[in-house]
Amino acid sequence: MKRARWLTAVLAALVLSGCASSLKIRDILENPARYNGRTVQIHGVVTKTSMTLGRGAYELSDNTGSILIVADETPRHGSSLKVQGTFRSSLSWGDDTVAAIVE
């Protein structure tokens, strides 16, 4: 019985350690080298959609900043959601170079 409890505790710790916690957008943008190429998770509200940013992208904002999200699908303006993807500190987007999260 003790072995089963120990195994359950170890499995729970492994599962929880693999869960990404949400970052603030400001933290990512203020430290782009730290997060570049890494998987990040953020939570925010869609403030601009593909109609203004181009196909397959939207802007997600939290109370600390905004960032471009490149994705296959564009959620509705005003949607609150959690996004996980790879942060790119330098992504060519049209004529601009931007920081973005690629889902």
Q: What is the pLDDT of residue 51?
A: 61
Residue 33 pLDDT level (bands cut at 50, 70, 90): very high
> pTM of whole model > 0.95?
no
Q: For the segment 47-102, what is each residue's pLDDT rounded down to a tens digit?
A: 998 766 666 889 999 999 999 999 988 899 999 999 999 999 988 777 777 888 89
Spell out the domain ranges in the chain.
21-102
* CATH for the stretch 21-102: 2.40.50.200
Q: What is the pLDDT of residue 38?
A: 96
Residues 37 and 91: beta-carbon distance below 8 Å: no
Name the 3-class secondary structure at 97: strand
